[in-house]
Amino acid sequence: MFNCQTWIAAAIQSALDQTWTDKEVIVVDDGSTDRTPEICRAFGDRIQYVRQENGGQCAANNHILRIAKGEWVQFLDADDYLKPEKIEAQLLSRELPPEVEVIYSPVVFETWKGGQRLAEEVQPITGDSDLLALWLGWMMPQTGGCLWKKEALVRIGSWNERYKRNTDYELYSRAIKSRLNFHFVDAPLAVYRIWSEDTACRRDKRTSIMGITDLIHEFIAWLRSEGRLTPALEKVAGRRIFAMARTLATQDLTVAASYYQQQKAAGLIDPIGPAAPWKYRLALTLLGFRRAECFASWMRAGPAQRS
């Protein structure tokens, strides 16, 4: 956590409230300057509170990993929370094979605005979902949705502290490449709050998108080297990259047009899905990406602005 006085008490309490009784709750304060330390210390010896100089999310997670005594580790961001049965539901799954090293479940997305919860939506993944397609489509569970076997996570190098964005996907990438044993449990009991546009990824979408694109290209290169890259997986990646090109266009159309052409030349643009309604696809075919985006911007404008 870092400066999360609004949410941290709820996050800690949700960890303490887990029905799985054999647990330790470790709270790493990444150099907070607000009331976060005071709030954490109020929990007393029910938690292990550790304070470090500001080093980022991955450094805090690795600190947890170094001192955790348990066989399994649950990571939880300070502005998210767990429902009470989360860990028990995953660890007591009837189908849980003994060799499993990562247990993953859908996450509940909670949208907040002005201190009010507006909506919630369960991530649409199932046991039939292709793990490679989930990764390429940027549909893996957010951090709180998993349990990691500590020994396996240490073996693949823990969290990469060079990354400040897209950290969970970088970790998932290495876990998949290292062939860790993933197991799906249908227990959407971790809640991810969407409440601010001031997070690193939302504040600097261009840098985030470029980082995601680099990870996707690296992952595709690995799939190709393993003989596992299929046309279906290329399409999943192409849809994700196309959606990011459209997001980038809302920030900087010139950069987005260049990005679109580069990804198209690499065979990684697939204008299908929610980011490509039929009117937009028609404009893209007739006008090209830049003019299609201008058309889409005009359509989004109100009648007064159009005139």
pLDDT 10s digits, 82-92: 999 999 999 99
On the CB side of 237, CA atoms within 13 Å amount to: 24
Please give the tally of structural domains in the chain.
2
Q: Is 289 left (phi over 0), alpha (psi -120 to 50) or beta?
A: alpha
Task: Give the pLDDT score at 100.
Answer: 96
Q: Domain check: are 93 and 185 in the same one?
A: yes
Say what the pTM is.
0.91
Band (pLDDT 50/70/90 cuts) for residue 299 is confident
Q: What average pLDDT is seen over the chain?
A: 93
Share of the chain above pLDDT 70, in %: 96
The amino acid that residue 68 corresponds to is A
Q: What is the mean pLDDT of residues 138-157?
A: 96
Q: Domain check: are 251 and 179 in the same one?
A: no
What are the phi and psi torsion angles at 172 (to 5°)?
A: -55, -40
> Residue 239: which domain range?
204-306
Q: Give, in order, the Cα–Cα distances in Å from 307 to each of 117, 230, 295, 300, 303.
A: 37, 47, 14, 13, 6
Q: What is the mean pLDDT of residues 188-217?
A: 85
Q: Domain check: are 90 and 222 in the same one?
A: no
Q: Domain check: are 234 and 194 in the same one?
A: no
Q: What is the mean pLDDT of residues 289-305?
A: 82
Nearest to 122 by CA among 187, 198, 27: 187
User: By the 8 A CB rule, do 59 and 30 touch?
Assistant: yes
Band (pLDDT 50/70/90 cuts) for residue 224 is very high
Q: Domain check: are 222 and 89 in the same one?
A: no
1 is a domain residue: no
- Read off the tokens for 222: 């690995």
CA 147 to chain CA centroid, Å, is 15
What distance in Å separates the CA atoms of residue 5 and residue 21, rounded to the nearest whole number?
Answer: 27
In sign, the C-alpha dihedral spanning 38, 42, 45, 48 is negative
On the CB side of 145, CA atoms within 13 Å amount to: 27
Q: Give the pLDDT confidence of 77-125 residue by residue, as tens digits.
A: 999 999 999 999 999 988 788 899 999 999 999 998 888 888 889 999 9
Q: Residue 199 pLDDT > 70, yes or no?
A: no
2 is a domain residue: no
The last residue of a domain, from among 152, 185, 202: 202
